[in-house]
């Protein structure tokens, strides 16, 4: 199998694994833990499980307050997931594929919630006393954030090195092809 195709398929597998874990944990919150009925489960002095229905996207922006806006959000986020998928299949380096796979897996988990429920289930509440450095989130949100951070870090700190690695790889393949003729 082509090594590049293999890396991309690993990226798809990672995306589906993140999606699966996200959906499983959300199921745990709804069914066995019955977080919707309980409201809050205090776990640690700085971390609770807190039922939240997120009708918006990142940080509550673009809240879907009608059926039309709900479906617009589903469509826009699905389009973004499609763009991320195409981008992932165009990348040549595993670090970039990895970051995009995290974004894709998280996006798929939240799209499924919004499609089926009209909102995204959020439950992870990290706090220091009354101070909350983050909004209440879920595994999909965390995966998207980690993926974006990977992409940004690679763009700022690794791009020149990665471009050189790709050039070296292409020259090596060209030399191997010339030798075999």
Joined together, the tokens standing for residue 144 give 């998207």
pTM score = 0.84
Q: Is 8 exposed, middle or buried (0-12, 13-18, 19+ CB in 10 A)?
A: buried
Q: Each residue of 83-109: b (16+ CB within 10 Å) or e?
A: ebbeebeebebbebbbbbbbbbbbbbb
pLDDT confidence of residue 95: 95
Catalytic residue among 122, 160, 168, 176, which? Answer: 122
Which residues in the chain come in under a pLDDT of 70? 58-62, 159-181
List Cβ neighbours of 35 (8 Å cut-off, separation of 6 or more): 29, 41, 49, 50, 51, 123
Q: Catalytic annotation on 141?
A: yes
pLDDT confidence of residue 36: 97
Q: Catalytic annotation on 122?
A: yes
Catalytic residue among 141, 163, 168, 176, which? Answer: 141
Q: Which residue has the tokens 């798929």?
A: 108
Joined together, the tokens standing for residue 125 give 């509440």
């Amino acid at each position: 199998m082509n090594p590049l195709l293999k890396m991309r398929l690993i990226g798809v597998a990672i995306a589906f694994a993140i999606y699966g874990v996200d959906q499983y944990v959300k199921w745990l919150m709804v069914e066995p833990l019955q977080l919707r009925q309980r409201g809050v489960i205090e776990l640690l002095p700085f971390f609770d499980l807190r039922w939240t229905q997120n009708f918006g996207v990142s940080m509550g922006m673009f809240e879907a307050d009608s059926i039309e806006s709900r479906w617009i959000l589903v469509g826009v986020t699905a389009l973004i997931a499609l763009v991320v998928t195409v981008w992932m299949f165009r990348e040549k380096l595993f670090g970039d594929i990895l970051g995009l796979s995290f974004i894709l897996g998280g996006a798929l988990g939240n799209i499924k919630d919004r499609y089926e429920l009209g909102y995204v289930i959020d439950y992870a509440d990290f706090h220091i006393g009354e101070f909350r450095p983050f909004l209440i989130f879920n595994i999909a949100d965390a995966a998207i954030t980690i993926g974006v951070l990977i992409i940004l870090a690679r763009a700022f700190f690794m791009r020149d090195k990665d471009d050189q690695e790709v050039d070296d790889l292409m020259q090596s393949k060209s030399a191997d092809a010339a030798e075999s003729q």
